[in-house]
Amino acid sequence: MSNQKNVVNVEDVKKIARLSRLHVEDTELQSLADDLSGILGWIEQLNEVDVDKVKPMTSAVAMKSPMRKDIVSDGGKRDQILKNAPKEDDGFFVVPRSVE
């Protein structure tokens, strides 16, 4: 990775680790330097892409959010939901007591 402009060296990794308050073993310094250099290389590659005529987007797929009226209701499915309950009483779930 030495052919990249922004090569991160071992001293840079030591400084970053110190500023981040991270302990990095000496045996890991070169590997981290190579990884960070690779990341910076990818960022430089992304900077070469011309995005001047690209509109910002929030999704890769154009879609319209479905809208519904904001009406408060009980859902009308109480009996269907209570069928799944192991025990119910007068339209409510019955659960074991957790506080005596």
What is the per-residue pLDDT across 27-55, written as a single tens digit (0 to 9) for each?
999 999 999 999 999 999 998 999 898 88
Can you give the pLDDT at residue 5? 61
Considering the domain boundaries, does residue 65 fall inside one?
Answer: no
Q: Is 27 part of any domain? A: yes
Let me know if residue 39 belongs to a domain: yes
Torsion of Cα atoms, 57 then 58 then 59 then 61, to 10°: -50
Domain-embedded: residue 92: no
Which long-range CB contacts under 8 A does 73-76 form with residues at least 24 apart?
A: none
Domain with 40, as residue range(s), is 10-47
Task: Answer whether residue 31 is part of any domain.
Answer: yes
pTM given for the model: 0.49
Domain total for the chain?
A: 1
Are 2 and 41 spatial neighbours (Cβ–Cβ below 8 Å)?
A: no
From first to last of its 100 residues, what are the pLDDT tens digits of the chain? 445 566 999 999 999 999 999 999 999 999 999 999 999 999 999 989 998 988 887 777 777 888 888 888 878 888 888 988 899 999 899 998 888 7
- Amino acid 4: pLDDT: 52
Asked if residue 70 is part of any domain, the answer here is: no
3-state SS string for 20-60: CCCCCCHHHHHHHHHHHHHHHHHHHHHHCCCCCCCCCCCCC
Helix or strand or coil: residue 93?
strand
CA distance 71 to 90: 26
- pLDDT at residue number 23: 95
